[in-house]
Amino acid sequence: MVHALTEARRVLRPDGLLLDVRPAAVHRRVHLVHGAETRLLGVMRERFLDERASDRAVAAVLRSGLFTRVSRSAYPCNRVARRFVDFRAWLEGFAALQDLPSHAWLLRRVERALEGVSGPARIVVSAPVDLWVLRNGLR
């Protein structure tokens, strides 16, 4: 990623801004929302290899002076599934993409929680997104 940031600054104007938006290295929380009630069902087990590598790359270009930090903030990000089948498809795809350990325990927990609910419910996966604003150090 250091190489990507170095290349990105070549196309920026002097003092141009680069926005780095990506998932924060915070475990995703899975909730069941039914009416006004929100219930935490579990916290995902993630490794954050890519997120930490990205953090190190940003730190490296800041130390080298290629960029300066203008700001950093985090924003909530929710993924909502209205059906169990949609949540399962997302979780299985995400776990495979990230090479995560099995989350079958979480699927069973969500499925059991849905069995005890009458009427519409939502499965909400929440985790923050980091936004870094970096200024091109090229003058």
Per residue in 96-138, pLDDT (tens digit) is 888 888 899 999 999 999 998 988 999 999 999 999 999 998 6
Amino acid at 77: C
Number of domains within the chain: 1
Range of the domain at 58: 2-136
Name the average pLDDT for the chain: 92
* pTM across the whole model: 0.85
Q: CA of 43: how far to CAs of 27, 39, 96, 98, in Å? A: 6, 12, 17, 16
Q: CA of 132: how far to CAs of 4, 70, 71, 119, in Å? A: 15, 8, 6, 41
